[in-house]
């Protein structure tokens, strides 16, 4: 199973980059092929319906879309901005959601956050679930919020608190196992007949239910 992992932060010394690196190690130890990406690889302008209509997805969004399509599951470590989702992550979700078929649909996602605050960024994770689930992603029930993250890592990049380290390990292992179980149902079909059927279902969902949220400019 292939997992796309990234920290939704542009800061070089981001605490979330440290956290996602730990999660990637655990996922790799469970047998998953983890693609640990840098968020800077997917730099893109603010979403504009006019730009989208005129030119389609920008290069950064297209690159992320290709990475997402190759992955069976996604792990995201996201900072909390003002009690909510970070602007750069929301912008990425919005751009990629304009592709068809919807790239987020059926992807298993595990959310994490590292923050110096006592809350660990959990409020932002609850907000982050909303657009991802609205786009059809299967967000893992458990979310890992690391409080006082500026003091939580040792010199080797591990967690000083053994109970938190064990909780992270247990959650990532659980996520990997659940994602593996979901892949045969929601992943890329192998037979031509299954591929055709999946396209028919995706088309019906897009055309009949209009599940995708309208952008601010369209709404």
What was the pLDDT predicted at 208?
44
Which run of H or E residues covers position 192? Answer: helix 192-204
The token pair that represents 186 in the structure block: 């929601």
Helix, strand or coil, per DSSP, at residue 113: strand
Q: Summarize the confidence of residues 93-102 as an average pLDDT.
A: 96
At residue 213, the pLDDT reads 47
- For the chain, the distance separating the N- and C-terminal CA atoms, rounded to the nearest angstrom, is 38
- Taking domain 2-188, whether its CATH number is 3.40.50.360 is answered by yes
Q: What is the pTM of this model?
A: 0.85
Task: Please report the pLDDT score of residue 188 as a whole number.
Answer: 61
Q: Please state, as a whole number, how many other Cβ atoms lie within 10 Å of the Cβ of residue 128.
A: 26
Local confidence band at 12 (pLDDT 50, 70, 90 cut-offs): confident
Residue 159: phi, psi to the nearest 5?
-90, 135
Q: Would you say 68 and 23 are in contact if contact means Cβ atoms under 8 Å apart?
A: no
Instruction: Encode pLDDT of 141-156 as tens digits.
Output: 999 999 999 999 999 9
Strands 138-139 and 144-146: unpaired
């Amino acid at each position: 199973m292939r997992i796309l992992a990234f920290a939704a932060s542009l800061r070089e010394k981001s605490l979330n980059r440290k956290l996602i690196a730990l999660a990637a190690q655990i996922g790799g130890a469970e047998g998953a092929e983890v693609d640990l990406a840098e968020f800077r690889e997917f730099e893109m302008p603010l979403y504009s319906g006019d730009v989208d209509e005129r030119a389609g997805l920008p290069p950064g969004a297209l690159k992320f879309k290709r990475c997402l399509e190759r992955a069976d599951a996604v792990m995201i470590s996201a900072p909390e901005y003002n009690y909510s989702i970070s602007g750069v992550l929301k912008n990425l979700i919005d751009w990629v959601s304009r592709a068809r078929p919807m790239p987020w649909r059926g992807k298993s996602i595990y959310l994490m956050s590292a923050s110096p605050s006592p809350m660990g960024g959990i409020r932002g994770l609850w907000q982050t679930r909303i657009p991802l689930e609205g786009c059809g992603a299967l967000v893992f029930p458990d979310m890992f919020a690391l409080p006082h993250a500026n003091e939580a890592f040792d010199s080797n990049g591990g967690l000083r608190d053994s109970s938190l380290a064990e909780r992270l390990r247990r959650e990532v292992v659980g996520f990997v196992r659940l994602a593996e179980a979901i892949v045969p149902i929601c992943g890329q079909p192998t037979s031509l007949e299954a591929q055709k059927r999946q396209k028919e279902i995706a088309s019906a969902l897009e055309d009949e239910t209009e599940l995708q949220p309208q952008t601010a400019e369209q709404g």
